[in-house]
Amino acid sequence: MSGLTHRVDRLERTAHERRLRAHLVELAEERGLPVDRLMADWQAIRARTAEMSARGMTVDEIMAATAARLGIDVDELRDRCEALAERFCR
């Protein structure tokens, strides 16, 4: 990989992290939560999801496990995910 490719990758990661942070700030403000807490929760969820994926669980199995942990049904979780994606992934 060239030096330019490394720099572009680093810039893209930085841009993604800034967009994510802005979205988390917006969500935290709406819910009256500290941004750092929401960021920590998001990172924990990502780690848990990565762990389940590494164990070979499918997306549907991960969604079912997550919905069960949250005490909601899978359809509601999907609806919430789709709403967030619609809102922040324009």
pLDDT tens string 42-77: 899 999 999 999 999 999 999 999 999 999 999 999
pLDDT at 1 over 80: no
| Residue given tokens 């924990």 in the structure block | 44
Q: Please, which residues have CB within 8 angstroms of residue 58's CB and are 6 or more apart in sequence?
A: none
On average, the pLDDT of the chain sits at 91
Q: Residue 36 corresponds to which tokens in the numbers above?
A: 């750092």
Two tokens, residue 79:
């609806």
Confidence tier at 2 by pLDDT (50, 70, 90) = confident
Strands (E), the chain: none
CA-CA-CA-CA torsion for 36, 41, 43, 44, nearest 10 degrees?
140
